[in-house]
Structure 1
Amino acid sequence: MKGFDFDFLKVTPIAILDILFVAILIYYVYNLIKNTLAVNLLLGMFIILVIQFAVDALHMELLSAIINKFMSVGIIALIVIFQPEIRRFLLLIGKNTFLQKNKAWWGYLFGSKNIERDNLARIKPVIDACKSMKKSRTGALIVFVKFYDDQLFANSCEVIDSKISKRLLESIFQKNSPLHDGAVVIAENKIKSASCILPLTDNDKLPPQFGLRHRAGIGVSENTDAVAVIVSEETGEIAYAKQGRVRMNVSFGELEKLLNKDF
């Protein structure tokens, strides 16, 4: 028909690719902010935008000037407010790249044929220690990190830098041990430190039965690429925290698969 331009209805491969990338981006952002305080922050920002449109429409010059000044520093404010989420987003992208997902195959091609066996040998002492602590109802928090952050861990921990050992883990978390409070951090195939004070999660939707160990394990997984294994002192049950989410009542078979996959 004359007078009408239907070019915007044309679907091109580039347009489909564009929509696909936007959908993936929205999915990642949703996964990052789901069940976190970032949802409330975004809601607050949306309300401010609605108020801004309203005061502009009503010609409230004073209030409009105040809100416009606030919005003028919006980008900097977003970076400051959402710094943990931005960090997690970049870590999530890095962990899901092709090379990361296929590093086992690359290792195989370059001669590391025993990666799974080596991983199991490193993980087995941790699983054995968890079995023992589950029986004795000994509370424990074991954090696995790929890159040891001296500023985050060493300043609030007792440095150990020892081989991963079932007996060492059990002795650290014994109730009479001076190091039993706090977390053990494992990195670079070693027990790097113990008695670590970790940031607690701000998530207010967690079950009330979650104690400091669970909240610390979830908190460190929110702000870093770490995963945390938590042994409940009350029930002996095993929990696994990753990316701010916690998986309860994990069996030892599941724990082995999760640790082997993530580390």
Structure 2
Amino acid sequence: METIINFFENYVAWLSFPRIQVTDIIEILMIAFAIYHVIVWVKQTRAWMLVKGLIVLLILWLIASILNLNVILWIFFKSINVGITAVIIVFQPEFRKALEQLGQNNLVMPLFNLNESKDKNERFSDQTVAGIVKATFDLAKTKTGALIVIEKEIPLNEFEKTGIAIDSLVSSQLLINIFEHNTPLHDGAVIIRNNRLAAATCYLPLTDNLHVSKDLGTRHRAGIGVSEASDCLTVIVSEETGKVSIAIGGTLIRNVDGDYLRNKLIAIQNKPVEGNNKKVKLWKGRTKITKKS
């Protein structure tokens, strides 16, 4: 009997469940959420190949530990510090992109809403929307390539500096003239900020996404690249086919029509919407809330 009790004390007692509190559950959910998003991010970047290589090295390390291969273990331990530094240097763009995406995450922005005052103002007018749509499809009819970047919350000053400052009101005539063949400003992208065309001939970063179709050229890859680096909306007109595409958040939407483009522009216009309640001032100086018919 004493032997059975000792067996349970030594080998079965560890099976008892620990006391789990609410904070433990919250911590487990947070860690699981973080690990899931790290895995999703790794699979979408070149770091996925790095993870496969690290798994191979881990297997080799386990084999060396089991077989007591001291020389190989010594090499592993001596090179681990250099390896970590090399990984940080090689994959610096991926780490930077991950931090940018973390800052753009809708779960984080409500906690650090630094642009509250900007959100209350309309980004651009209906006239600007009409000018962009008209110019885009006029250029598409003549198969004139174009790349139009519309800034939202994240400033595009870094890319604006690579071009020529314009600082003019947006109009369809101006956009068409800029992208006309054999003109000094037709090469590169234009950046639109609010109701003004900030700069032209701007150079944009190309996307590293390996899943982008091979039939897309540099103009489309640049449009996707700048949408990955910021929250802008990019309008691309193909010079080969005359088709219009838009890029948002690293996703390319191809062959859009005028109504679709107009709706997308209106969606990011941030136009204040009148509520259902309207204040009416009474003769006594008070205000009364009346339902809007």
TM range (shorter): 0.7 to 0.9
Q: More deviation in 165-174 or 190-199?
A: 190-199
Q: TM-score normalised to the size of structure 2? A: 0.70
Deviation of 1:207 after TM superposition, in Å, equals 1.5
Contact map agreement 1:35 1:205 (CA 8 A) in 2? no
Structure number with greater CO (CA < 8 Å, separation at least 6) is: 1
- For 1:147, the equivalent position in structure 2 comes to 155
Say which structure is richer in helix: 1
Q: More deviation in 61-70 or 205-214?
A: 61-70
Deviation of 1:260 after TM superposition, in Å, equals 4.5
Cα deviation digits, residues 67-121 of structure 1 (max 9, x gap): 33332245444433333333333333333135389899x669x9x4x738x4544
Separation in structure 2 between the aligned mates of residue 15 and residue 58 of structure 1, nearest angstrom: 39
Q: Which amino acid aligns with 1:182?
A: G
Deviation of 1:217 after TM superposition, in Å, equals 1.6
SS in 2 for 1:115: coil
> 1:80 and 2:89 equivalent?
yes
Unaligned runs of 5+ in 2: 1-7, 270-293
Q: More deviation in 213-222 or 94-103?
A: 94-103
Match of 2:137 among 109, 131, 135: 131
Aligned residues: 256
> 1:50 and 2:59 equivalent?
yes
Identical positions, percent = 36
Unaligned runs of 5+ in 1: none
Contact map agreement 1:218 1:241 (CA 8 A) in 2? yes
Distance 1:15 1:205, change over 3 A: same
Cα deviation digits, residues 220-251 of structure 1 (max 9, x gap): 33344444221112222222223333222233
Match of 1:24 among 33, 40, 44: 33
Separation in structure 2 between the aligned mates of residue 45 and residue 13 of structure 1, nearest angstrom: 35
Contact map agreement 1:182 1:197 (CA 8 A) in 2? yes
Q: Which amino acid aligns with 1:67?
A: F
Q: What is the CA RMSD across the aligned residues, in angstroms? A: 3.4
Deviation of 1:211 after TM superposition, in Å, equals 0.6
Cα deviation digits, residues 9-67 of structure 1 (max 9, x gap): 65543333233323433454355445432322332333333333333433344443333
- For 1:14, the equivalent position in structure 2 comes to 23
Cα deviation digits, residues 155-189 of structure 1 (max 9, x gap): x3222232222222111111222222221223354
Separation in structure 2 between the aligned mates of residue 124 and residue 195 of structure 1, nearest angstrom: 22
